[in-house]
Amino acid sequence: MKVAVVILNWNGAEYLRKFLPALIRYTQLPEVEIVIADNGSTDDSLEVLSAEFPSLRVIEFDKNYGFADGYNQALAHLDSEYYLLLNSDVEVTENWLMPMLDFMQNNPQFAVCQPKIRAFHNKEYFAKEVFEYAGASGGFIDKFGYPFCRGRILGTTEKDTGQYDDIVPVFWASGACFLVRADVFWEMEGFDTDFFAHMEEIDLCWRLHNGGYKIACVPQSVVYHVGGGTLNAESPYKTYLNFRNNLLMLYKNLPAEKLRKTMFARFFLDYLASFHLMLGGKFANARSVFRARRDYKTMRNNYYYINRNENKQIQSIPEIYPKSIVFEYYLRGKKRFKELF
């Protein structure tokens, strides 16, 4: 069983120094290789790798290809049965990898899994006690395509008290720590490079569901994620990518009979979100929503023949929440995952 643990790094020298020692210490397993793919960094990442981690394999790119194409190009260089995609701002723990590998070896119908992801920093609780926004204990989406997690509903994250420690099927696994079967990754043609960054792992997971595969969270594995290491949560560009890519994902993967109603509702929900951002003084972020919708309308034409006509789209996926998470959160006050189901 050959496994490649691959970090796609962009200007993350600080994180490489901070988190690579633990990764090396806790990943000394036969047939496991740690690979750093550098996405055209302009800081001293390459110098840090050469001087402080000379034993690690490094793949150098000439520019920043984004998360999606960067990983596609990096993984094409590797000959492994599994790829473990790991953000540079993730701290792993002892025995972090084996629970996920054991699960995948014993459950061939699952194509992807993730660990339990806690926040490396948190203002409300003691360090490392709360779930991390981007993944928590497994990802889901609602009927309108809004992502949420076991342990995180919209902007509310829960303290981890073991309430989500069971292994369950989920809709998506976080790209912060993403274990995927290599053959299935290429069967699905990898990440959609048009996404550049953000939501590409959810899009891939949706395509996997449509292809008959399953996704899981294995909370017996635990990692800590800083989050926002490349783009912080307040970035207008991040807002743009999240809205644009979410709309593209819906267009690509929803069955035709559900697409029209969903997009009709999203028209109003997106402009409501933009208005909310304006009320909060985030005018650049509000403009990003408008720009995202404009560019989605242009980019969706790239997918019509390839995806709408040829890709299989499943009518009902159990891990898609059949209600609006926005309605449940704001109007009914349901801010914990267990309150939804």
Residues 183 and 264 in one domain: no
For the question of whether the overall pTM of this predicted structure is more than 0.75, the answer is yes
In tens, the pLDDT along 146-183 reads 999 999 999 999 999 999 999 999 999 999 999 999 99
Residues 108 and 43 in one domain: yes
Q: SS3 sequence, 100-134?
A: HHHHHHHCCCEEEEEEEEEECCCCCCCCCCEECCC
Candidate from 22-36, 113-127, 147-161, 197-211 with smallest mean pLDDT: 113-127
Candidate from 52-66, 91-105, 125-139, 185-199 with smallest mean pLDDT: 125-139
> Would the pLDDT of 233 be above 90?
no
Whether 231 is in a domain gets the answer no
Whether 332 is in a domain gets the answer no
> Would the pLDDT of 42 be above 80?
yes
Q: Which residues lie closer than 8 Å to 304 by C-beta, 6 or more apart?
A: none
Return the structure tokens found at 256: 């035709």
Whether 56 is in a domain gets the answer yes
Q: Residue 303: pLDDT band by 50, 70, 90 thresholds? A: confident
At residue 167, what are phi and psi to the nearest 5 degrees? Answer: -80, 120
Whether 171 is in a domain gets the answer yes
Cα separation of 194 and 220, whole Å? 34
Of 286, 246, 252, whose CA–CA distance to 266 is shortest?
246
- CATH of residue 106: 3.90.550.10
Mean of pLDDT over the chain = 93
Task: Please say which residue of 192, 225, 258 terminates a domain.
Answer: 225
> Would the pLDDT of 59 be above 60?
yes
Whether 331 is in a domain gets the answer no
Residues 214 and 260 in one domain: no
Please report the pLDDT score of residue 142 as a whole number: 97
Q: Which residues lie closer than 8 Å to 286 by C-beta, 6 or more apart?
A: 274, 275, 277, 278
Could you tell me which residue, 235 or 305, shows the higher pLDDT? Answer: 235
Residues 298 and 164 in one domain: no
Please report the pLDDT score of residue 304 as a whole number: 64
Q: Are strands 139-142 and 320-321 parallel, antiparallel or unpaired?
A: parallel
Residue 220 structural domain: 3-225
Q: In the chain, how many domains are there?
A: 2
Of 110, 37, 115, whose CA–CA distance to 72 is shortest?
37
